[in-house]
Amino acid sequence: MTAPGIRKLKSSGKKIVCITAYDVFSGAIADESGADLILVGDSVGNVVLGMETTIPVEMDDMLHHTMACRQGVSKALLVADLPFGSYQSSVEQAVDNAVDLAKAGAEAVKLEGTFTDQISAIAKAGIPVMGHVGMTPQSVNAFGGFRVQGRKAQGEQVMAEAKEIQDAGAFGIVLELIPADLAAKITEELDIPTIGIGAGPSCSGQIQVFHDVLGLNADVFKHAKVYVEGRKLLGDGLKTYVSEVKTGTFPTEDNSF
């Protein structure tokens, strides 16, 4: 898959399936599932590194996880997040960090908000860029919590931001935690694909966090659906291993040399 290929999926009316992944294991499982786009999200901070928010995630974390994920992904488009503090200061900072993510194996990068000069400059450098509006987690402190954005009059602002990001040269845009009818309008108005998370069914595609859909998270969110009770499944497997070692039923002759 390529960035132009993702755009074509919208024009041909096909839904775009996106999932996050953070290492060779999750990258390979996500790739084998048939997803079109795999995002090394800065949600790595929450679901892998145990942080409360994505704010502490550093470029070094993103480079490390992008390099690992690259090893597991051969079919889907691999996109990496520019973390908080890696693009806001200047266009030069944004381009340099996007280039580093590309060298680590990302085929595109994503950044939050209307940093349109940065989006244009990264795209000009030859790296496809995704935008991200609505509930942008790197701004959680400004929003005062993880809340739905774009209700009522605020909706016009989210629409205007999405258009600015398209005009700056993004090839797609994530719509996070916004009302479904607003997401539908944005999807209709924009040429580029919209990828929703908690933004209803009318988006051009959907993105979910690996740990949320596979039931690996202790928390369950309204915007997600748990497709397998992964935490229980893996926990039960390990409990059986512990019990078999303790009782002497593993290893057997079959496991010995």
> How far apart are the C-alpha atoms of 101 and 113, rounded to whole Å?
19
Q: Supply the minimum distance, in Å, between the C-beta of residue 230 and ligand KIV.
A: 17
Burial of 202 per CB tally in 10 Å (0-12, 13-18, 19+): middle
- Residue 187 near ligand KIV by CB under 6 A: no
Q: Which span (34-42, 177-185, 228-236, 242-250) binds ligand KIV, by CB under 6 A?
A: 34-42
- Annotated active-site residue in 107, 112, 161, 176: 176
- Residue 23 near ligand KIV by CB under 6 A: no
Nearest to 208 by CA among 53, 30, 23: 30
Closest to ligand KIV by CB, 198 or 243: 198
Query: Is 176 marked active-site?
Result: yes
Instruction: Choose, by CB under 6 A, the member of 1, 6, 119, 209 that binds ligand KIV.
Output: 209
Closest to ligand KIV by CB, 39 or 77: 39
- Residue 43 near ligand KIV by CB under 6 A: yes
- Taking CB under 6 A as the criterion, which residues in 57-86 touch ligand KIV? 81
Positions annotated as catalytic residues are 176
**Residues of the shown chain interacting with ligand KIV in the complex, contacts defined by CB under 6 A:** 20, 39, 41-43, 81, 174, 176, 197, 207, 209
